[in-house]
Amino acid sequence: MREFAIFLILFAVVVFIILVFRTIFGRSSKRQRPEVRRENANPMIKPGDHDWRARGAFNPAAIQDSTGRVHMLYRAVGGDGLSRLSYASSESGASIDDSLPYPVFAIENPRQNRDEDGPSGRIRHYDPVMYPSGGSWGGVEDPRMVSIDGTIYVTFNAFDGWDYLRVGITSISEDDFFHKRFTWSKPELISPKGKLNKNWMLFPEKINGKFAILHSINPKVQIEYVGRLEEITKGSRTIESTYGGGRPGKGWDTWVRSAGPPPVKTDRGWLVLYHAIDKRESHKYKLGAMLLDLKDPTKIIARAPSPILEPEMWYENDWKPGIVYACGALVKKGELYIYYGGGDKHVCAAHTPIKPLLDWMLKNKNA
């Protein structure tokens, strides 16, 4: 009996040690997720000051020049209910040190595809409670920006009521944009008529000599390759985009919405940040991350096992609760900077070292 009692005690001790070991180390890879730190200057741009951004300033696209200065285009919603784009920049990437007191790009009526040189002089009655899309009732929404061969391309959502939601594109030379000469090309629509599409973007470089348009990431990664963008804008080719609901399995991203910023090229693959919802917290937009193969970016090689950014701060719950919506991302001095809209109201930023993030994703690619 004594030997049996000793055996039971030793067995219990061994089981206890195993449980402790699993608790400490079994989930260590997920616990070691690199911290994505919000900038102290958040919110970097707030609504107000001017009527054209009285209701909101959010969802910034971002790009950097050869000196490392970060240039942004952000969405602004005015008192008239229209969305326009304005400009700001940052030397550090962490706080705004230059911004313009007027919009730099707008189309008041996407159906007629009219250009507009600054804010409209016609103020229309606007009910902010009955907004149809992200706080506005029409205009230019949610820009994505890339630079290819000396030209900056901006894709955006052209919204004019829920029966009209298409993807537009415009361009400008790097020299003009960086010197604040906003000589945009005539905006064109690249998504087909009669279908609701949004959140398309270009890869920041040509792939096999062609423009690569990322237009869906769920149920699979969908990319259209074109030699000339005119093939799409002039209607000789049509992009057929399909969207799924949730990702199979037990992941947190049970409803994948869309890609966020344009893909970021790394030595491990194309880093794509995306927006998704967990059915257990269906009121929150969260930010996920995936890696695509460099040669065949329709192939997913890794996916973060948990969100990298969630709406926790007051400015991410101020107007529309539970929203982090990223439109810009870039690597600056080894840090991944993420530029996002908080609560469909504020321009915000966060950063994290890029290498540990990629290591963590690849280590947990089967999680």
Span of 121-130, 192-201, 279-288, 317-326 with lowest mean pLDDT? 121-130
- The pairing of strands 82-90 and 138-148 is parallel
Q: H-type helices in 117-191, by residue range?
A: 174-178
The string of pLDDT tens digits covering residues 71-81 is 999 999 998 88
Do 285 and 316 contact (CB within 8 A), yes or no? no
Average pLDDT, integer, range 164-186: 95
* Whether the predicted pLDDT of 130 surpasses 50: no
Each domain of the chain, given as residue ranges in start order, spans 44-363
Angle at 358 between CA 352 and CA 362, to 5 degrees: 145
- % the chain with pLDDT above 70: 81
pLDDT score, position 251: 83
Q: Per the structure block, which two tokens stand in for 248?
A: 């199979």
pLDDT score, position 212: 98
Do 35 and 66 contact (CB within 8 A), yes or no? no
The string of pLDDT tens digits covering residues 202-235 is 999 999 999 999 999 999 999 999 999 999 998 8
- The secondary structure element, H or E, covering residue 177 is helix 174-178
Alpha-carbon distance values, 251 to 159, 256, 304, 341 (Å): 32, 11, 10, 24
Span of 11-15, 124-128, 267-271 with lowest mean pLDDT? 124-128
Helix (H, G, I), strand (E, B) or coil at 44: coil
Average pLDDT, integer, range 233-245: 87
Q: Which residues, including other chains, have CB under 8 Å from residue 78's CB and lie 6 or more apart? A: 51, 52, 53, 54, 55, 84, 119
The domain 44-363 is placed in CATH, from the list 2.115.10.20, 2.60.40.10, 3.40.50.1820, 2.40.37.20, at: 2.115.10.20
Higher pLDDT, 286 or 112: 286
Whole-prediction pTM value? 0.87
Higher pLDDT, 234 or 284: 284
Average pLDDT, integer, range 50-55: 94
SS (H, E, C) 174-232: HHHHHCCCCCCCCCEECCCCCCCCCCCEECCCCECCEEEEEEECCCCCEEEEECCCHHH
Average pLDDT, integer, range 90-98: 98
Q: Per the structure block, which two tokens stand in for 101?
A: 């007191």
* Whether the predicted pLDDT of 334 surpasses 80: yes
* Whether the predicted pLDDT of 274 surpasses 90: yes
Give the rounded distance of the alpha carbon of 214 from its chain centre. Answer: 13
The string of pLDDT tens digits covering residues 2-26 is 554 454 444 444 434 433 334 333 4
DSSP string, 230-257: HHHHTTSS-------SS-SSS-S-SEEE
Average pLDDT value over all residues in the chain: 86
The string of pLDDT tens digits covering residues 176-212 is 999 999 999 999 999 998 888 999 999 999 999 999 9
pLDDT score, position 27: 42
| Confidence bin at 156 (pLDDT 50/70/90) | very high
* Whether the predicted pLDDT of 350 surpasses 50: yes
**CA-CA distance, 331 to 352, in Å (whole number)?**
10
Average pLDDT, integer, range 292-304: 97
pLDDT score, position 248: 66
pLDDT score, position 262: 98
